[in-house]
Chains A and B, each alone.
Chain A
Amino acid sequence: MSEVASSEAKNRKVISLFADATHDAKSYTSYLGFMYGITGRLTTMNRLYLSRNPKEKTLGDVDLGLNYRFFSRDKKQFHFRMSAFGHLRIPMEKASDFPPLPPNNPFVDHEEFYHSDTVIFRHEITDHHRQDNWLPYGGIALTLLDKKLAVNFDVSYNHTIPKGDFRYGSFFKGGLSFGYLLIPKEYKSYNDVNLNVYVEPKYYYFAKNQLHGEKLKNSGGSKVEIAAGGQLVFLSSMIFEFGYVRSFADSSINIKKDIFFTAFRYLFF
């Protein structure tokens, strides 16, 4: 789910539901999305993170964002575009809400709270819908479409601001995706079913987490992810997306090394 430079049409609304999970379902994320075309160049993109874990609160962080397309070079069945985007993820959790969990299970994401190099409590993260840090992030996206081929590049810097003493590492993310329209061979009507397939390598670099301004050992690192997926489009208004993400060269503490994901989007005016 990369940022793209192709904006929504004015007044178009997009409601989406996204869900992912590791193959063992030990870690997962869900969100409800809402996009709206304010103008043909400016789109607002928002998310409400949700929990599928009955032990957690259902509603999670809110992510508010804008994407502005500032450059377009359009030709017949071709475009090259650039946009700038900015988001703010608003946390809905407090550090003190995390219960202490003694065992360190290496197969589950966790965040640790230290005092003088000693873990004072450890929280397993199975559901990424709530965090305790503000996260402003922004970057640029470049999209090239040439008939059936799509190439997208996006890069962003994600800066975490702690609500309490603990700070997640800020991170850098860059991705390059290649997509291709397999069907229809030739458009005849809005009812034609579309099938797009894509592959998308991404690179992440995480700074170390901090407590009271001190960098924590068991944090930071980098990873490469490669996503492969498909999009089915029905009636030119419904998109069903599915795919798989695998991490490589992963030196981060994140153990979401393989993820299945699915998303549904409904576009309307």
Chain B
Amino acid sequence: MKTIISIIILLSSSWLFSQVKEITISVDGFTCSLCAKGVEYQFKSLEFVKDVKTNLKEATFDIKFKEDKQIKIEEIWDAVDNGGFTVGFVNVNAQGKISKSGNDVKLVTGNSKDISLSGKTGELSDGDSVNIEGKIDNSYKVEVKTIKKI
């Protein structure tokens, strides 16, 4: 019985920690707080967004996600468009397991589509648990800046 409970705890903790945790998004085109408020509202309207911190000076938004919701990265782009502006760049911080098939390296997370990785992925093996940071686009491709095995 103890073994079963341990396995359940291990699996659930693995699920909890394997996820896209947060992004920082730079938005182009706005110069005033009225505009920023309009974009912030669009982010907060997304059902998977937990918290938004706005940096008016830098025109960036730090977005944290709800742990129990599926994240749809493409909706972040739609939100910026609905706010009336354009995405500059999006930095992502995510944890998950590596799935490797030839040159195709993917990060499997518990709360988003699989993320295609490029850049510093040479030393990774299939099944590695990693934390990655890098620029993501709206087709779930990340140019990895830093990667840590965990």
Contacts and interface: CB of A to CB of B under 8 A. Distances in A.
Given A9-B39, A39-B82, A269-B41, A76 B28 contact: yes
Given A40-B81, A76-B59, A9 B88 contact: no
A190 B28 contact: no
A11 B31 contact: no
Contacts of A10: 42, 82-84
Contacts of B38: 8-9, 12, 37
Interface string B14-40: 000000000000101111111111110
A16 interface: no
Contact of B31 (A41, A72, A77): A77
Interface residues of A, number: 37
Given A9-B38, A12-B41, A187-B56, A194 B82 contact: no
B41 A9 contact: yes
A146 to B, nearest CB: 8
Interface residues of B, number: 27
B82 A9 contact: yes
Nearest to B54: A190
Given A7-B84, A79-B29, A236 B34 contact: yes
B86 interface: yes
A39 B78 CA distance: 11
B26 A76 contact: yes
A186 interface: yes
Nearest to B84: A40
Contact of B32 (A181, A188, A189, A237): A181
A75 interface: yes
9 contacts: A6-B84, A8-B38, A9-B35, A9-B38, A40-B81, A78-B31, A145-B29, A194-B32, A236-B37
Interface of A: 6-12, 37, 39-41, 69, 72, 74-79, 145-148, 181, 186-190, 192, 194, 233, 236-237, 239, 267, 269
